[in-house]
Amino acid sequence: MQLTHQENQFERKTFPITLVCDHIYFQQNIGSLFRISEAFGVENIIFFGKDIPLTPRKINKTSRSTHLHVAHSVIEDFTSLQSFLLDNDFEIISLEIASNSKPLKEVTIPKNKKIALLIGSEINGISEELLKLSHQIVHINMFGKNSSMNVVQAASIALYELTSK
């Protein structure tokens, strides 16, 4: 028998993870990122970029009202984002296929350190300036001809891995 939201036995938990979204603009993706972040107990979402379309009416369909329950903010310029990440002593982990990336399964989580998981835009991925700030760059091994996947799907896989360690 399928359980309702009230009947499930999942432990409510928040993880010291901040999801940093580098110039993500597609409203369906934004709504879905709220939903998956709420499901995985993400502490905070930062949307990096100008004119991020956070109009709740437009993202509500995919967020299923989770945008009301996940702390989030917008940081428009690189200097402010860099200061936030460095001043708060995050372990900065970028999810990107790069020449120096390692498989996601090999990610290491330092004890007692907050995580900033960086995910990239739907078009260009993570910017070079943010990759340079990263302590670790990880990728999801894929076995088909395509070398990329939707940012929400990738974030979901990464959050599952990070929260299960």
Instruction: Give the domain ranges of the chain.
Output: 15-163
* Mean pLDDT on 101-124: 95
Q: Model confidence over 63-104: pLDDT tens digits? A: 888 888 899 999 999 999 999 999 999 999 999 999 999 999
In this structure, which topology does domain 15-163 adopt according to CATH?
Alpha/beta knot (3.40.1280)
Of 36, 80, 75, the closest CA to residue 54 belongs to 75
- Give CA–CA dist 123/79, Å, rounded: 22
Residue 48 has pLDDT above 70, yes or no: yes
Of residues 154 and 8, more confidence is placed in 154
Q: What is the pTM of this model?
A: 0.92
Give pLDDT, residue 11: 73
pLDDT-derived band of residue 5, with 50, 70 and 90 as boundaries? Answer: low
Give pLDDT, residue 57: 75
Structural tokens at position 65:
């009202």
Q: Model confidence over 120-164: pLDDT tens digits? A: 998 899 999 999 999 999 999 999 888 788 999 999 999 999 999
- Give CA–CA dist 156/158, Å, rounded: 5
Q: What dihedral angle (degrees, nearest 10) is formed by the CA atoms of 29, 34, 39, 44?
A: 130
Give pLDDT, residue 3: 72
- Strands across the sheet containing 136-139: 71-75, 42-48, 15-22, 115-119, 91-95, 136-139, 102-103
pLDDT-derived band of residue 8, with 50, 70 and 90 as boundaries? Answer: low
Give pLDDT, residue 34: 96
- Give CA–CA dist 11/22, Å, rounded: 30
pLDDT-derived band of residue 6, with 50, 70 and 90 as boundaries? Answer: low
